Amino acid sequence: MDKLQRSVYILLFFILAFAGLYIGREFLIPVALAAILSMLFIRLCNWFESRHISRGLASLFCIMIFASSIALILFLLSWQLSSLLENMDAMKHRVTTIIEEMKGWVDDSIGVSKKTQENIIEQQAEGGGTAGGGMAAGFASTVLDILINTVLVLVYMYLFLFYRTHIKKFILKLVPKTEKSEADEVVHKSGKVAQQYLSGLGAMIAILWVMYGIGFSLVGVESAIFFAVLCGLLEIIPFVGNLTGTSITILAVMAQGGNTKMILSVIGIYFVVQFIQTYILEPLIVGEQVNINPLFTIMAIVFGELIWGIPGMILAIPLLGIVKIICDNVPELQPYGFLIGTEKEKRNKTGIIDKIKSYL
């Protein structure tokens, strides 16, 4: 009976926790993003402080570096997007041609005449026309929310870096004195796993930019840098991001009038880059910092999207990695840590990749 009651309490706790995460998502998303990103800059902040720079200035320098990096990425995207918009008329003509060809195919294959298809499209346009003002207002509201949340994330990041020692002391005060050393180790490992995962992911994205940029340029994709940066950035969403970026690139190539050879070349570049990423970059750069099995990785991404949308998909893996560390260090939760993690056979690390990883 006690075991059944305990299981019910655990299930109730998870239900309440998930409900709280969903209800408080507008407040929790910026806080969680800032907390994870601030872990990435702890080492850099410590380096600044070792050079006799005050913690306030060191934290401010880290935020400025982060903001400058984001601004540089946005500049590259806008720069390439402006050149892409110059060819918008030709792309519109190409899209119109494709739509007409699709109408002809539907007429020949399904038997729905072009006139009927146009009537259906007009009815849909009339139904959506009344909501045009609402859509514009919704878009403006979304942009404003993004700007506000961006400012909040930067402010939270600064405060997390500035008060990180105070926060750590607070966490240690929550546990008995006999368990302070274990709690300190858990806090250290949690920060380290998020830091190593994010830094490795950032390095891998930079390499993907180079590979996609070279590949798209060689096959003649217009605004190749834009699509290379886009495909690399979408890599922050595991499993879904790389496929989405490549799909957008293929659609753009079709709109630009690219032939079948160019489309197949883009698909070939995708598979080559994915092969290099899976078998070389991830083992070498990202490694096994977040030791979670694929089943719970996918489940965490899906669940993160359900409660927090795209930010939830981005935060799913580092947060689950932190949860696993906590489970591994709490005896009552160790079975759950075992369930989330992977079982790997012990082997001698004599491979080339292992030697390079050890050197790095």
pLDDT, tens only, 193-242: 777 777 778 888 888 888 888 888 888 887 788 888 888 888 777 767 77
Is 202 a domain residue? yes
Quick check: 124 pLDDT over 60? no
Residue 213 counted as domain residue = yes
317 inside domain: yes
**Percent of all residues in the chain with a pLDDT value above 70, rounded to a whole number:** 73
pLDDT exceeds cutoff 80 at 278: no
Single-letter amino acid code for the residue at 102? M
Q: State residue 208's pLDDT score.
A: 87
- Asked if residues 62 and 44 have their Cβ atoms less than 8 Å apart, the reply is yes
| Percent of the chain that is helix, strand, coil (3-state, to 5) | 85, 0, 15
pLDDT of res. 340: 83
Instruction: State the average pLDDT over residues 145-159.
Output: 88
* 30: exposed, middle or buried (Cβ count in 10 Å: 0-12, 13-18, 19+): buried
Between CA 192 and CA 199 the distance in angstroms is: 10
Asked if residues 59 and 53 have their Cβ atoms less than 8 Å apart, the reply is no
Residue 347: Cβ-neighbour burial (10 angstroms; 0-12, 13-18, 19+) = exposed
Asked if residue 103 is part of any domain, the answer here is yes
Among 72, 26, 6, which residue's Cα sits nearest to residue 209?
72
The tokens for 280 are 């070389």
Q: What percentage of the chain carries pLDDT values higher than 90? A: 8
Specify the number of domains making up the chain.
Answer: 1
Minimum mean pLDDT range among 28-42, 52-66, 320-334, 335-349: 335-349
For residue 85, tell me if it sits in a domain: yes
294-302 — which CB contacts under 8 Å span 24+ positions?
296/320, 296/339, 296/340, 297/238, 298/239, 301/237, 301/238, 301/239, 301/240
User: pLDDT tens digit string along 280-313?
Assistant: 777 666 555 567 777 888 888 888 888 888 888 8
Give me the chain's average pLDDT, please.
Answer: 77
- How far, in whole angstroms, is CA 88 from its chain's centroid? 29
Question: Rounded to whole angstroms, how far apart are CA atoms 223 and 191?
Answer: 38
Q: Is residue 79 a part of any domain in this protein?
A: yes
Neighbours of 320 (CB within 10 A): 20
Residue 94 lies in a domain: yes
Between 116 and 194, residue with greater pLDDT:
194
Is residue 18 in some structural domain? no
pLDDT score recorded for residue 62: 92
Domain that holds residue 299: 23-110+145-359
- The answer to whether 21 and 311 are in contact (CB under 8 A) is no
Least confident among 1-5, 27-31, 207-211, 340-344: 1-5
